[in-house]
Amino acid sequence: MRLGKVVGTVVATQKDPKLTGNKLLVIREMQLDGSLKEDFSVAVDTVGAGVGECVLVCAGSSARLARNLQDCPVDAAVIGIVDTVEHDGKVVFKK
């Protein structure tokens, strides 16, 4: 899984019917020094994450194992809101 920061939301009225009711978040991958990578991705939110929060993103077909995404056309899901990240014994991120 990758650490990411929620930087926005996506609203799509015209979309696959199975995606109805799912919140779409814009995620930029977060590096351990807190900086954000250039590229971003869109992930389905399953834990109620808000903009600005650091989240854990599961990518690939395993994302469909998240809550009520069983047969949704989804390849990225936010599966957790990060409280702390410890790297080499030091807390590098704290909510």
Q: Per CB under 8 A, which of residues 5..24 are in contact with other proteins?
A: none
Q: What angle do CA 29, 12, 19 make, to 5 degrees?
A: 80
Q: Chain centroid to CA 67: how far?
A: 13
State in angstroms the smallest separation of the CB of 89 from other proteins: 7
Q: How many residues bind other proteins (CB under 8 A)?
A: 33
Binding of other proteins at residue 1 (CB under 8 A)?
A: yes
Phi-psi region of 48 (alpha: psi -120 to 50; beta: other; left: phi over 0): left
For other proteins, the closer of residues 9 and 31 by Cβ is 31
Q: Per CB under 8 A, which of residues 47..86 are in contact with other proteins?
A: 47-48, 56, 58-67, 69, 77, 79-86
Interacting residues of 92 by C-beta distance below 8 A, sequence separation 6+: 32, 33, 34, 85, 86
Q: Give the residues lining the site for other proteins (CB under 8 A).
A: 1-3, 31-32, 46-48, 56, 58-67, 69, 77, 79-89, 92
